[in-house]
Amino acid sequence: MPQHEMILAGSASEHLGRAVSELLGVPVVGKELRRFPDGEMQVEVIDQVRGSDVFILQATSPPVEAHTMELLLMADACRRGGARRLVAVIPYLGYARQDRRTGCKSLGGRVAADLITTGRFERLMLVDVHTPAIEGFFSTPIEHLTAVPILANAVSHRLGQHSIVVAPDFGAVKLARAYARLLGLPIAFVQKTRLDGEAVATHGVVGDVRGRAPLIVDDMLSTGGTLAAAVEALRAAGALAPVGVAVTHALLVGSAREVLQSLGLSFIATTDTVPIQPPEPSIAVASVAPIIATAIRRTSRDESLLDSPAAKSRTHGE
Ligand code: R5P
């Protein structure tokens, strides 16, 4: 790979920046992030980026607003430093769940998209974004990457012929189909209604889960409320216990760790799109660095991502 590519990692994704840099043999741009006494941030790019294509890695995970601002400041510093083109690799996109307006409420997904667009990135790379339809909020072209193949691979040895892939809500059915296809398993889904940021209600399970060992799959786990409700609905529907879980983004906010403990899960697998801090020994973490590295390599060679296992359009294509 020619050396005119560089990686710049924000504070939410420094681990991925290092891993991707090693995989590609591409340098990480040195930077300093300073805070003024009033809390404002300033980014300084230490290395020469003039004429380079800079791939900026930054999950807009909690604290979402700070990580988003840092992403935009990094882009600005690179542009002012003469970078040729900028690509934002956003392993987890915050605000993506706010994709529909109800009543007089704000539409956070659209506002976040507008903000990121001000970074004037040539492309964005997103991993298992909450809904691929979010692309409609952006004028910037998007590459949809998926961690489903690496997670399916990570959990396959824990599954048997009586396993079943379960989507904890209707929105996760496409993702569940992608897992089911790779694992050769049937699928079912839980009918869920979200009551507020933490509480959800379920209304039964669609599909026959009796005597089957569920693998619940989802794009993300935040408070654990969705997972807890799905486990309860599956027990009520006659599924075997315990339950296995695969989620791309483990935010683990609020009392999520206690919720996970209380569910007596057989295993839980996730990725490092959002680092788990402090680490949770009961959660197996597979890195998305290889899929990001592949996507960066192909993009810099002007190759299509469509025949790559990392490309969501293939694994999730219907
Ligand atoms: C919802 O549509 C998402 O796919 C997840 O199921 C949900 O956001 C997880 O959040 P929590 O763990 O707080 O229920």
| Percent of all residues in the chain with a pLDDT value above 70, rounded to a whole number | 96
Answer yes or no: is the C-beta of 169 below 6 A from any ligand 1 atom. yes
Instruction: Print burial letters for 273-291: b (CB count within 10 Å at least 16), e (below 16).
Output: bbbeeeebeebbbbbbbeb
Distance from the alpha carbon of residue 222 to the mean position of ligand 1, in angstroms: 6
31 counts as catalytic? no
Ligand 1 atom closest to the Cα of residue 171 is 2
pLDDT at 260: 96
Residues in the chain: 318
Residue 198 to residue 220: CA distance in whole angstroms: 14
Quick check: 150 and 130 in contact, CB under 8 A?
no
Quick check: 13 and 57 in contact, CB under 8 A?
yes
Distance from the alpha carbon of residue 133 to the mean position of ligand 1, in angstroms: 17
Indicate which residue's Cα is closest to atom 3 of ligand 1: 220
Q: What is the pTM of this model?
A: 0.94
Indicate which residue's Cα is closest to atom 6 of ligand 1: 226
Between CA 228 and CA 236, with CA 231 as vertex, the angle to 5 degrees is 125
Q: In this predicted model, what pLDDT tens digit does every residue of 87-140 receive, in sequence order?
A: 999 999 999 999 999 899 999 999 999 999 999 999 999 999 999 899 999 999
Answer yes or no: is the C-beta of 212 below 6 A from any ligand 1 atom. no
Q: In this predicted model, what pLDDT tens digit does every residue of 245-289 receive, in sequence order?
A: 999 999 999 999 999 999 999 999 999 999 999 999 999 999 999
Indicate which residue's Cα is closest to atom 2 of ligand 1: 171
Distance from the alpha carbon of residue 80 to the mean position of ligand 1, in angstroms: 38
Domains of the chain and any CATH numbers: 5-146+289-317 (3.40.50.2020), 148-286 (3.40.50.2020)
Ligand 1 atom closest to the Cα of residue 198 is 13
Distance from the alpha carbon of residue 103 to the mean position of ligand 1, in angstroms: 21
Indicate which residue's Cα is closest to atom 5 of ligand 1: 220
> Which pLDDT band holds residue 314 (cuts at 50, 70, 90)?
very low
Ligand 1 atom closest to the Cα of residue 130 is 4
Residue 80: half-sphere exposure toward Cβ, Cα within 13 Å: 10
317 has pLDDT over 50: no
